[in-house]
């Protein structure tokens, strides 16, 4: 495996990134989006996470429009994007089946489209969105290495890769993959048991955690695990400066020793403001485990 990356590359100076998957849900004028992006920067969240497929392949263009409203915003925001998932949708009526494509030719095409749509000279971090079982790691690595060499992307990484898939692709990279962006939250702890985070720790790579609030399921009182978590969060709130369930959930995610970067997904300004406060919460060991126990519904083995 190539040498490990810097443990805190400039793109991950703040442990949260603003996710844009749901950005076009509900009201979403360019001005609204621009306001949210500027507020993120003011609060210290200086990187956004997007993808070619988001919003039915429409979010990257909407981000480009929103960023263009503030001269200088491009310089203040690092952009992470992903590609490789192709599903039938009204923009692509010729597709009859969903497929993945992480071939060098497709990666090049996607990155060039992302640059054009967002009005950028470079993608700061580019991720292969999902493993493509039909493309060899040599082909994918050739594409990523070439994009880095050409300066079209600064860093390369992956998303939703298993530890072995990560290791295999990483072995073909000229410079190591920067991250693996995976689903990690109190209602899905797989990365801490399936080897994903162990591999990150071994190679001093910071993972990224998508859906840190379980996509909102954490607040569903009909879900027994969420109800238990709400009760435990209430009991530990005062100790952490009246922290809310969402702040404790972010702190739990970011508290893993691999120091995951939380990719937050709210569309509400006040929730972004509340989220950043979680950065200063360091959970004590017993509280981290108390949340684990509440989520699992049983004691540690």
Ligand X SMILES: NC(=O)c1ccc[n+]([C@@H]2O[C@H](COP(=O)([O-])OP(=O)(O)OC[C@H]3O[C@@H](n4cnc5c(N)ncnc54)[C@H](OP(=O)(O)O)[C@@H]3O)[C@@H](O)[C@H]2O)c1
All residues at 6 or more sequence positions from 229 whose CB lies less than 8 Å from its CB, including other chains: 186, 218, 245, 249, 291, 294, 295
CB-wise, 5 or 250, nearer to ligand X? 250
**Rounded least distance, CB 253 to ligand X, Å:** 9
C-alpha span between 230 and 196 (Å, rounded):
27
Number of residues that bind ligand X (CB under 6 A): 24
Q: Is 16 in the site for ligand X (CB under 6 A)?
A: no
CB-wise, 119 or 215, nearer to ligand X? 215
- Contacts with ligand X, 178-217, as mask; x by CB under 6 A: ---x----------------------------xxxxxxx-
Q: Is 52 in the site for ligand X (CB under 6 A)?
A: no
CB-wise, 255 or 265, nearer to ligand X? 265
- The encoded tokens of residue 260 equal 């995951």
Catalytic-residue membership of 250: no
C-alpha span between 286 and 211 (Å, rounded):
24
153 with 122: CB under 8 angstroms? yes
Q: Is 110 in the site for ligand X (CB under 6 A)?
A: no
**Rounded least distance, CB 301 to ligand X, Å:** 27
C-alpha span between 211 and 184 (Å, rounded):
7
Name 78's bridge partners.
Answer: 47
CB-wise, 139 or 220, nearer to ligand X? 220
Q: Is 116 in the site for ligand X (CB under 6 A)?
A: no
Residue whose beta carbon is closest to ligand X? 265
Q: Three-state secondary structure along 183-248?
A: ECECCECHHHHCCHHHHHHHCCCCCEEECCCHHHHHHCCCCHHHHHHHHHHHHHCHHHCCCCHHHH
- Contacts with ligand X, 128-167, as mask; x by CB under 6 A: -------------------------------xx-------
C-alpha span between 208 and 184 (Å, rounded):
8
From 229, 165, 233, select the one nearest 199 (Cα to Cα): 165
Classify 97 as helix, strand or coil: coil
- Which is the catalytic residue, given 18, 54, 57, 86? 54
Applying CB under 6 A, among 14, 219, 288, 292 the residue interacting with ligand X is 219
- Contacts with ligand X, 245-284, as mask; x by CB under 6 A: -x----------------xxxxxx--x-------------
Query: By the criterion CB under 6 A, which residues form the site for ligand X?
Result: 19-22, 49, 159-160, 181, 210-216, 219, 246, 263-268, 271
Catalytic positions, written as ranges = 54
């Amino acid at each position: 495996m190539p040498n490990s990356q810097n443990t805190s590359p400039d793109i991950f100076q703040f442990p949260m990134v603003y996710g844009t998957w749901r950005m076009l849900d509900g009201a979403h004028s360019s001005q609204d989006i621009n306001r949210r992006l500027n507020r993120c920067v003011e609060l210290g969240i200086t990187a956004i996470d997007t993808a070619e497929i988001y919003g039915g392949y429409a979010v990257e263009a909407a981000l480009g429009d929103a960023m263009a409203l503030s001269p200088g915003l491009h310089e203040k925001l690092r952009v992470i994007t992903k590609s490789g998932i192709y599903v039938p949708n009204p923009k692509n009526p010729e597709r009859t089946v969903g497929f993945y494509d992480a071939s060098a030719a497709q990666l090049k095409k996607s990155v060039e489209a992302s640059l054009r749509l967002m009005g950028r000279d470079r993608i700061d971090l580019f991720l292969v969105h999902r493993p493509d079982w039909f493309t060899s790691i040599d082909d994918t690595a050739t594409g990523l290495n070439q994009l880095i060499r050409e300066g079209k992307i600064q860093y390369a990484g992956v998303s939703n890769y298993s530890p072995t898939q990560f290791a295999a692709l990483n072995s073909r990279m000229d410079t190591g993959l920067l991250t693996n962006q995976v689903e990690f939250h109190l209602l899905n702890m797989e990365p801490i048991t399936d080897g994903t985070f162990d591999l990150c720790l071994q190679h001093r790579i910071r993972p990224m955690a998508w859906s840190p609030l379980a996509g909102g399921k954490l607040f569903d009182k009909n879900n027994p695990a969420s109800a238990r978590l709400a009760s435990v969060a209430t009991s530990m709130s005062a100790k952490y400066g009246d922290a809310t369930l969402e702040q404790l959930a972010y702190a739990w995610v970011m508290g893993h020793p691999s120091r995951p970067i939380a990719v937050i997904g709210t569309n509400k300004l006040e929730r972004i403001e509340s989220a950043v406060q979680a950065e200063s919460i360091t959970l004590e060991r017993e509280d981290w485990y108390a949340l684990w126990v509440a989520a699992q519904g049983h004691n540690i083995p």
